[in-house]
């Protein structure tokens, strides 16, 4: 399998949404992930919910300095990555969407076939919601691997 085919197989279900996943094998066109123009951000927040091996239930403000879009890739950082406070990162390119949430050493990262949801883009804002269920993640409290569900609803204004 070529690298492009592998990426499409992982990303297409997320881009199409859960209702279209049955058609993924037949799809030949690039995933329908929104194009986001180059921009900086002035505000926003994310509601981050993680359940399972570890728990997070928090509203987190956007980290304006760490969030940007360069016309090809978008990084929306909520809170400070790796900090003991809850944080999240949404990455968006035309090929993929990535979702990450955590607190300190407890981090879950997902994308592709592991999530369902969407990103909506306007000239002045980005909003979205992703649900990623049964994601394997390291539980720093127990030192073992566990499963978590992550739900993120986010907005960013530019």
Q: pTM for this structure?
A: 0.77
Model pLDDT, residue 32: 57
Strands of the sheet with 115-121, listed across from one edge: 56-61, 43-52, 144-157, 125-139, 115-121
Please write the tens of the pLDDT for every residue from 15-34.
434 333 333 333 323 345 77
- For 120-129, write each residue's pLDDT tens digit: 999 999 999 9
Beta-strand pair 39-40/144-157:
unpaired
Fold of 3-157: Lipocalin (2.40.128)
């Amino acid at each position: 399998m070529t690298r492009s085919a592998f990426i499409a197989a992982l990303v297409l279900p997320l881009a199409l949404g859960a209702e279209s996943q049955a058609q993924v094998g037949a799809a030949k066109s690039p995933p329908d992930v929104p194009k986001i123009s180059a921009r900086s951000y002035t505000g926003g927040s994310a509601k981050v919910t993680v359940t399972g091996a570890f728990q997070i239930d928090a509203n987190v403000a956007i980290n304006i300095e760490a969030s940007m879009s360069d016309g090809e890739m978008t990084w929306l950082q909520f809170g400070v990555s790796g900090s003991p406070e809850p944080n999240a990162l949404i990455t968006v390119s035309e090929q993929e969407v990535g979702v990450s949430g955590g607190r300190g050493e407890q981090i879950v990262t997902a994308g592709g076939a592991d999530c369902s949801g969407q990103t909506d883009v306007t000239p002045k804002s980005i909003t979205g919601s992703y649900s990623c269920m049964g994601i394997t993640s390291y539980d720093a409290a127990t030192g073992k691997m566990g499963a978590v569900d992550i739900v993120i609803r986010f907005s960013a204004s530019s």
